[in-house]
Structure 1
Amino acid sequence: MPSDTLTSTVPIPDLWKAAHRDDRARPRARQQLLGPSSIGLCRRRAAYEVHGTWPTDLADTMHAAILGTWLHEGILRVLEQQYGAFTELELTNGTLLGHADAYWAPASLTGQTSPYGAEVGVVEDLKTKSTRALDMVVRHGPHRHEWFQVHLYAHLLKTGGLAEHPKLPVGEPLPVDVVRLRYVGREYGQVVVHQRPYDQDVADQALAWADDVLASPEPEAMPRDLDGPGLSIICDNCPFKRACWNLDALADDRAPQTILIADGEDLAAALGAYSEAAEIESAAKKRKAKARKVLDAAEPGTYGAFKLSWSGGNPRPPVPDPEAMIRILEGLNLDVPLKSGGRSSRTINVSRLPDTP
């Protein structure tokens, strides 16, 4: 048989179909107890999970998330083998169920000196990010729900929530003094670390948030805490997106957020929010423009709490001149080729009415 015929008849396994099947079979994908990773993000999404709602959006395009899972597993293996971390600890209090990525116990508990010298209890949550998302962490720090998550792992460890383990005592309080968030870039492997002392107030806030969701009679009783499809990447990738935003009943090309207006009072509130935001945006643009002019001659470097760098400013190659082309065609008495201009975008105009006496 010719080699080209042979290769054309040999089936090639579909990597991503298998990867998505494997991902959906993972225990975490099938748990129904509320997980710390869902707390502090969106109450309605968490309520869908608590009430066992079947996902309406199981996309087979979550390649980046699956790559993150594979990278996550390799990093935890290295932290365990090279630095003595206890990894993937199953934690529960009967209503919450989570898996702490890494935990370092003090030597007094294990009888072994920590390979990296820390004599305190440390719990770490590992997150893989795109370059853009990692840049947001660098600029703005961790999100509230990420601090909630790692504090809840610490709280469950401190309150005897370890389900089972061959080396650590089960059902007993384990010391945690420091919580850590480690971010790793999926493209280039950049690492950003934030750590802080364990804060019981943060854990209490997270528990109160969870109690609110657990007490909900149905998912629709919980508010949408994020801005919705097209405005929030979390909503764009939410497994309950269609149910939450009623996308099957969406008319024409209108935005999903239109369902947030039920009556004239909601409409007036939205107009007020738009007008207020426009006023703030206008003032902020003026302040930004002035600051940009002031900084125009500043050299790159670190100044106080800020780092300044410049990009661009390079010469560009010549580009076609459409206006000159039109003049040439008109001078030759040739018709200028045209195509449909389509439809202009809708422009909104909101003005505030004067106060009536």
Structure 2
Amino acid sequence: MPTDNITENLGIPVPDLWKGAHRDDRARPRSRQRLLGPSSIGLCRRRAAYEVHGTWPTDLADNMHAAILGTWLHEGILRVLREQYGACTELELTDGVILGHADAYWAPDHLHDPAARTPQTRDLGVVEDVKTKSTRALDVVVRQGPSRAEWFQVHLYAHLLRTGGLRDHPGLPTGEPLPVDVVRLRYVGREYGQVVVHQRPYDEDVTKQALAWAEDILASPEPEAMPRDLDGPGLSIICDNCPFKTACWNLGQLPDDRAPQTILAEDTAAVTEALRAYADAAEVESASKKRKAKARKMLDAADAGTYGAFKLSWSGGNPRPPEPDPDAMIRVLEGLSIGIPMRPGGRTSRTIGVSRVPEAN
């Protein structure tokens, strides 16, 4: 089925853009690598184990348009960093176990000629990773900062550079340690081009944590020996787009009316723990809703604007157009002695009830 919408068919074949784009994306070296990549470290241990053990993906989606648009935007960003700001881009880095491609690296100006130092010389080595994000995902970065996995990734690039992991580069010495003093994450919004930058000094402790995480994956006998670190399909966008989603969550064996997460409640102890988590969360949620409702009432007359660290804005409040009145329609039909059209009712949604059993005296 074509993915392109052709408004006027003149009998001339039109190449299907997205089919070709998906074929191209799957042929990229990063899509076919089997060594553990820095971008997989710190995310989900089972997913990383599937990659390390060479498991064939069970879910190759043909609707990853946003991700492919991000790849195209990413290539343009790296070209600008390279041509306008002198960055070395797409550096292949490996220690024989981890294989990654650092987006951008700026070596100190005096790397090759210490005698050429001037007051304007850049003394620090900087490695940067570029990430394209939706507006919603970018807002999470603004509010919460980079994730642990993202800091792991850029620190591992720095580690590989510092330990001589650079391979086959025309402008930098390969196989030799290169200085990295600063790690940087640059986020670019796919819709409107917003840019958010986080940078920090290189931290050896973060690298040690990332390497320890990777060692656990590499020591795993099989993917199923590793835990699922994310919440699963329907609750995690990463799980929704995971190429191993079906294998990880046994989707082919689940009834259509059951959530994938039901496989986690495999015994009485697991069900009891889920009930405890539900009850605890419900109590916190109830208290939070009451606090939120009171705060909303307090703000009802406040003008839009900035108040300290918060920005208040209002939307809505516009008049609605008239809507059909189902009750009036029924009365009209009944007055005309016309039967009311019905459709199958189906089933009501199941409602869960969780309460705490009183402790025995």
Q: Displacement of 1:195 after TM fit?
A: 1.6
Equivalent residue number for residue 210 of structure 2: 206
Q: Which runs of 5+ in 2 are unaligned?
A: 1-8
Q: Displacement of 1:113 after TM fit?
A: 9.1
* Farther off after superposition, 18-27 or 83-92: 18-27
Q: Structure 2 matches for 1:222-261, cutoff 5 A?
A: 222-261=226-265
* Farther off after superposition, 307-316 or 25-34: 307-316
Contact 2:184 2:199 in 1 (8 A): yes
Residue number among 48, 52, 55 corresponding to 2:54 in the alignment:
52
Give the 3-state SS of the residue equivalent to 2:111 in structure 1: helix
Give the 3-state SS of the residue equivalent to 1:146 in structure 2: helix
Equivalent residue number for residue 97 of structure 1: 99
Q: Supply the RMSD in Å over aligned alpha carbons.
A: 2.1
Residue number among 19, 24, 33 corresponding to 1:31 in the alignment:
33
Structure 1 residues 198 and 296 mapped into 2: Cα distance closer, same or farther (>3 Å)? farther
* Counterpart residue identity of residue 19, structure 2: K
After superposition, what is the alpha-carbon deviation per residue over 1:55-88, rounded to whole angstroms, capped at 9, x for unaligned?
1111222111111111111110111000101100
Structure 1 residues 309 and 199 mapped into 2: Cα distance closer, same or farther (>3 Å)? farther
**Following the alignment from structure 2 to structure 1, what is the Cα–Cα distance between the partners of residues 284 and 122?**
47
After superposition, what is the alpha-carbon deviation per residue over 1:35-74, rounded to whole angstroms, capped at 9, x for unaligned?
0000111000000011111111112221111111111111
Aligned pair count reads 350
**Following the alignment from structure 2 to structure 1, what is the Cα–Cα distance between the partners of residues 203 and 295?**
37
* Counterpart residue identity of residue 133, structure 2: K
**Following the alignment from structure 1 to structure 2, what is the Cα–Cα distance between the partners of residues 94 and 176?**
20
After superposition, what is the alpha-carbon deviation per residue over 1:138-162, rounded to whole angstroms, capped at 9, x for unaligned?
2222221111111111111122211
**Following the alignment from structure 2 to structure 1, what is the Cα–Cα distance between the partners of residues 343 and 238?**
38
**Following the alignment from structure 1 to structure 2, what is the Cα–Cα distance between the partners of residues 261 and 117?**
60
Q: Structure 2 matches for 1:271-350, cutoff 5 A?
A: 271-350=275-354
| TM-score under structure 1 length normalisation | 0.92
Structure 1 residues 311 and 110 mapped into 2: Cα distance closer, same or farther (>3 Å)? farther
Contact 2:125 2:182 in 1 (8 A): yes
Q: Displacement of 1:118 after TM fit?
A: 5.1
**Following the alignment from structure 1 to structure 2, what is the Cα–Cα distance between the partners of residues 216 and 338?**
57
Residue number among 108, 111, 134 corresponding to 1:109 in the alignment:
111
| TM-score under structure 2 length normalisation | 0.91
Give the 3-state SS of the residue equivalent to 2:74 in structure 1: helix
**Following the alignment from structure 1 to structure 2, what is the Cα–Cα distance between the partners of residues 249 and 188?**
42
* Counterpart residue identity of residue 311, structure 1: S
After superposition, what is the alpha-carbon deviation per residue over 1:86-137, rounded to whole angstroms, capped at 9, x for unaligned?
10011111211100001111212155899x9854211111111122222222
Equivalent residue number for residue 140 of structure 2: 136
**Following the alignment from structure 1 to structure 2, what is the Cα–Cα distance between the partners of residues 282 and 56?**
40
Q: Displacement of 1:222 after TM fit?
A: 0.3
**Following the alignment from structure 2 to structure 1, what is the Cα–Cα distance between the partners of residues 167 and 135?**
35
* Counterpart residue identity of residue 144, structure 1: R
**Following the alignment from structure 1 to structure 2, what is the Cα–Cα distance between the partners of residues 253 and 50?**
33
* Farther off after superposition, 53-62 or 328-337: 328-337
Q: Which runs of 5+ in 1 are unaligned?
A: 1-5
Percent identity of paired positions between Structure 1 and Structure 2: 78
* Counterpart residue identity of residue 294, structure 1: M
Structure 1 residues 169 and 70 mapped into 2: Cα distance closer, same or farther (>3 Å)? same
Give the 3-state SS of the residue equivalent to 2:261 in structure 1: helix
Structure 1 residues 110 and 336 mapped into 2: Cα distance closer, same or farther (>3 Å)? farther
After superposition, what is the alpha-carbon deviation per residue over 1:175-196, rounded to whole angstroms, capped at 9, x for unaligned?
2222111111222222222222
Give the 3-state SS of the residue equivalent to 1:193 in structure 2: strand
Equivalent residue number for residue 41 of structure 1: 43
